[in-house]
Amino acid sequence: MPREQSLDKFIQHMKKIRKRNAILFVLWYVVMLLVYCSSSDANLTTLSLVNLGAVIALVGADFSSQSTLIAALNLLKENPDSPPEPVTEETQAS
């Protein structure tokens, strides 16, 4: 089953990337908090907060999409030969 092994490797690689991204995000978050706390300039403080909010949203979306991809790959690995979903009016509408 070379396909199953390659899926396993890819899933493990995705999990490693997700873990690395989480560590980098925490480090970045700490640095941004230090900048925010040490800043006395109101414009820099506002910019830091806007930047922090944007990155939190992007990282959350990235983690969510990676989790969905890993779940889909696990389902594909468990049922590799399942028939495709038939095309109906409901599936075409979505």
pLDDT tens, 10-67?
888 888 888 888 888 888 888 877 877 777 676 767 777 787 788 888 888 888 888 8
pLDDT at 86 over 80: no
Give ∠ CA 91-4-7 in degrees, rounded to 5: 70
Mean pLDDT of 88-93: 64
Domain parsing of the chain, residue ranges: 2-78
pLDDT at 91 over 80: no
- Tell me the C-alpha distance between 21 and 15, whole Å: 10
- Tell me the C-alpha distance between 29 and 21, whole Å: 12
Q: Show Cβ contacts of residue 73 under 8 Å, excluding neighbours closer than 6 positions.
A: 7, 10, 11, 14
Number of alpha carbons in the 13 Å side-chain half-sphere of residue 33? 7
pTM for this predicted structure: 0.55
